Structure 1
Amino acid sequence: MKALFIGGTGNISTPVSEIAVQRGIDLYHLNRGNREPIPGVKSLVADITKPKELEAALKGHTWDVVVNWIAFNTTDVERDIELFKGKTKQYVFISSASCYQKPPVSPIITESTPLKNPYWDYSREKIASEEVLIKAFREEDFPMTIVRPSHTYYSVFPITLGGWTEYTAVHRMKKGLPVVVQGDGTSLWTVTHARDFAKAFLGLMNHPLAIGEAYHITSDEALTWNQIYTFLADAAGVEANIVHIPSQKIIEYADQNGFPSEEGNLWGDKSHCALFDNSKIKKLVPDYVATIPFSEGIKETLAWFESKPERMIINETTNRFLSELVKNYG
């Protein structure tokens, strides 16, 4: 199988790339070459937004699979349709499980759950991109597959405030400072390690029954937000000092005091329960089982951050936001 990953060195795509190489996939990355290449991956250096660079890098290539890990809007998708029409047997768009209906009408999400998120521009852009691809499949036979990850981690902290690419929340935990959890912390959430995600994802690559279909890929482990923060603190060797604040208060305080908006992050995503029925992907990839519990996977993520000081980013704006939330509502 000859595959092209546009991007390929991010939080999810890095483990997927590493396992793809282990499985003997002839894998190419198309990116700007700013990150250390993954051993065994062939590199095509170009900026996806620059047509002349793209033309030179892709000249003479056809693909079994093209995956765009960094397509976020209809402009990106429309460009890819023109670029890879007739040149790939499958095009995979990385969408997002945040596209599913908010607020949810059921805590159990399937691929037939409506796509509607009035709170988050990111999700609406992904939904619009899916619609462009579905139209291209129906009218032009463009061989697309849609994949919707949900809060998948490897080199990010999958928490609500002070995490993701930041080390801020962990720094606060280690200093004995409070961290903020939305609501009462008891709503159920799903986190998935990227190596588990990779098992299912590689199974749908170049699979003829995946063409024209959409799938989410998650673990089956349901955790409360209190558990997620507690497991992170355990990995850091400290006790989490959790302060619970209603989502609406967090959103209002951010909006009224010049902090980045939290409406999409909360009302558009993490304030709701999110449990996934993975029957569809398991039918396509029967041996898919997520086996990395968050309590173990997060230890690896913490070690990844702490292995290089430049990864331990403490965002002072986030720090101030959390401290002010605690002072006003804690």
Structure 2
Amino acid sequence: MKVLFIGGTGIISTAVSKLAVDRGIELYVFNRGHNQEHVPEGAKVITGDIRNKASADEALGVTAFDVVVNWIAYTEADVRRDIELFEGRTEQYIFISSASAYQKPPLHYLITESTPLANPYWSYSRNKIACEEALLERYRTSGFPVTIVRPSLTYGYTMIPAALNSWSKPWSIVDRMRKGKPIIVHGDGTSLWTMTHNTDFAKGFVGLLGNPQAIGHAFHITSDEVLSWNQIYNSIGKAAGVEPRLIHIASDFITSVSPDEVGNLHGDKAASAVFDNTKIKRFVPDFAATVPFAMGVRQSVEWFEAHPERCLVDSEWNHQMDHIIASYSSR
């Protein structure tokens, strides 16, 4: 099976790329030539910029692929370009959407693929919904072979996942915990969340590659482990070897002080996220998530400790956390 990954060097896609190669898939990775250390041995690299259609068309040439996966499509314009590029050139096009596209606030605690898509808080999610609608409209009118995958918060060894942490310098939260600084938990910390290790996600995803029954369908792929945010932060602390000082602050207050967090909280993590994975297990019968969060985050902390050059601290994020806490304490 010949598969093209557009992007393919991110936290989720790196794990999928490795498993795909391990399973004998002929993998091509199309990107701008950055982060090549994350391309697995055995994959072929095509250098180009997918956002420049003429350049991408030239770089891809006349090569056809059994499957095309775009890991970096975020807008309706992105997927309409891909339709033009790959219609007639692939048997399956997989769009990476987001579980944050599901209804916010949710009307039922258990999320299935039929949960409505509606997110008034986050433009990122609304753009993903628009992408899905454009692709499905093309599927219905001309048979464009789309499959939609909606990851939730998926992490790997290069990430310390939390509702509030620095995305670019994820070691920041461990550093803050080890220095005894207070750690903000939104709400009372009892809402539920699902953390998924990228190696678990990869098992479900690779099973969809080249699966003709998946055409026209949407899937989420997550762990079945459900944790409260208090449990999540305490697991990070345990992995870091400390008991974190948790301070609980209402999401409304956090976003009033830091409006940039509206999408992240109200549009995603402030709502409980419990996923029914029946559908992916029906299409990929051997899929099972086997990495509990306590183990996965411990592996992440150990990886950072083995790579001290990556143990960077985001001073701007730290200042933001201190500012929120000071504003809350001075009410």
Q: TM-score, normalised by structure 1?
A: 0.96
**CA deviation map 1:26-68 (0-9, x unaligned):** 0010001111232111000001112343123211210110000
Q: Give the SS at the match of 1:64.
A: strand
- Structure-2 separation of matches of 1:22 and 1:64: 18
How many Å apart are 1:310 and its aligned residue? Answer: 4.2
**CA deviation map 1:103-139 (0-9, x unaligned):** 0001100000000000000000000000000001001
Matched ranges for 1:247-258 at <5 A: 247-255=251-259
Is the Cα–Cα contact under 8 Å of residues 3 and 26 in structure 2 kept in the other structure? Answer: yes
- Structure-1 separation of matches of 2:53 and 2:129: 25
- Structure-2 separation of matches of 1:165 and 1:157: 11
User: Structure 1 residue aligned with 2:181, among 177, 182, 187?
Assistant: 177
- Structure-2 separation of matches of 1:301 and 1:140: 44
Aligned residue number for residue 117 of structure 2:
115
Give, as a single letter, the amino acid of the residue that structure 2 aligns with 1:213: H
User: Structure 1 residue aligned with 2:238, among 234, 240, 243?
Assistant: 234
Matched ranges for 1:1-330 at <5 A: 1-35=1-35, 36=37, 37-154=39-156, 155-166=158-169, 167-255=171-259, 261-330=260-329
**CA deviation map 1:275-330 (0-9, x unaligned):** 00011111001111100000001122223333434433322221011112222325
Give, as a single letter, the amino acid of the residue that structure 1 aligns with 2:24: G
- Structure-2 separation of matches of 1:70 and 1:305: 26
Residues 271/264 of structure 1: CA separation in 2 closer, same or farther (3 Å cut)? same
Q: Give the SS at the match of 2:258.
A: helix
Provide structure 1 residue ranges, at least 5 long, that are not aligned to the other structure.
256-260
Q: How many residues align?
A: 325
Is the Cα–Cα contact under 8 Å of residues 157 and 163 in structure 1 kept in the other structure? Answer: no
Give, as a single letter, the amino acid of the residue that structure 2 aligns with 1:182: H
Provide structure 2 residue ranges, at least 5 long, that are not aligned to the other structure.
none
Q: TM-score, normalised by structure 2?
A: 0.96
- Structure-2 separation of matches of 1:295 and 1:280: 26
- Structure-2 separation of matches of 1:51 and 1:100: 30
Is the Cα–Cα contact under 8 Å of residues 165 and 313 in structure 1 kept in the other structure? Answer: no
- Structure-2 separation of matches of 1:309 and 1:130: 40
